Amino acid sequence: MMTKKVITFGEVMMRLSPPGYEKFSQASHFELVYGGGEANVAISCAYLGMKAAHVTRFPDNALGKAATQFLRKHWLSTEHVLYGDQMMGKYFLEKGAVHRPSEVIYEREGSSFSLIEPAMINWEDVLKDADWFHWTGITPAISEGAAKCCLEAIKTANKLGIMVSGDINSRSNMWKYGKSMQQIIPNLAQHCDVIICSSSGMREMFGLEGKFQSLAEQIITLYPKVNKVVKKTRTTLSASHHQIKGKMWNGEEYIKTDKLNITHIIDRVGTGDAFAAGLIYGLLHFDDEQALDFATAACALKHTVPGDVNTVSLENVQSLMEGDTSGAIKR
């Protein structure tokens, strides 16, 4: 079987965190990793054995080169990485524990990626040998140029017959360039094959009413190209103990996974991206029910991995998907 290839598009930022579970007020230095929702998806797919490439724009300086090295270290092709301007987007993360929540502070306005324009990317060249294109609702929220690039990528993927998924949950406070998510996201989502979105997100972005299955049915009726609507539900018992499950409406059947209990969270950042990557891998290799089980297992395992990216193997995910929750040593 030929190896499948996924392409993702979005900003990669520096993540700066106090050591361990220290608060910002206690920190004398920060630990540095790189991450961004779409790149996290590509890296997760690469660790599952897929070919993966990420399209982004870094500052033309040593930080941009260091971020490129990070992507290469994690098995991504960087042939479509662009360079220009001087600022790297960044965010500061204070990790929560037990009853204390995590806190995030962003610094990304004016970043190299936010200044991207459609003329900078030849999407037909980028996507020519891809099987899947993935985007998130964060990217079109960053700037008008990023939103236009994203739409062009999606339409090119449609033209080339490439599957498109959008993880369209977004943050309303990011939209600062004169457009709202309600003006932009539906126009992008209507060209997707698979949408990942919370019930509240569907109500907010599309002006719909109802619970998940009803909302998903309405989306598929409104946008006939969409054939699957998926979400992950999370029950938060404490900052360290969560429960998750996956849900899908595929136009004919409402599918739900069993609940997975995550009792000792190491790092929850990037868990939604791990779910999206697992879903992409699953839909390319399994039926819908197995794909959703695979995505949920991948998401659960990311909670055990420090940093933004899910570096677990295909065998790790399959083992949990098949019910092995023991964590026993593999010899």
**Closest C-alpha to 90, from 71, 111, 65:** 111
Residue 331 has a pLDDT of 42
pLDDT digits (tens, 9 = 90+) for 249-259: 999 999 999 99
- Residue 168: pLDDT band (50, 70, 90) is very high
Cα of first residue to Cα of last residue in the chain, in angstroms, is 28
If you average pLDDT over residues 150-164, what whole number do you get? 98
pTM as predicted: 0.93
- Residue 329: pLDDT band (50, 70, 90) is very low
Residue 323 has a pLDDT of 85
pLDDT digits (tens, 9 = 90+) for 53-62: 999 999 999 9
- Residue 112: pLDDT band (50, 70, 90) is very high
Distances (CA, A) of 266 to 21, 29, 271, 303, 307: 10, 20, 11, 6, 9
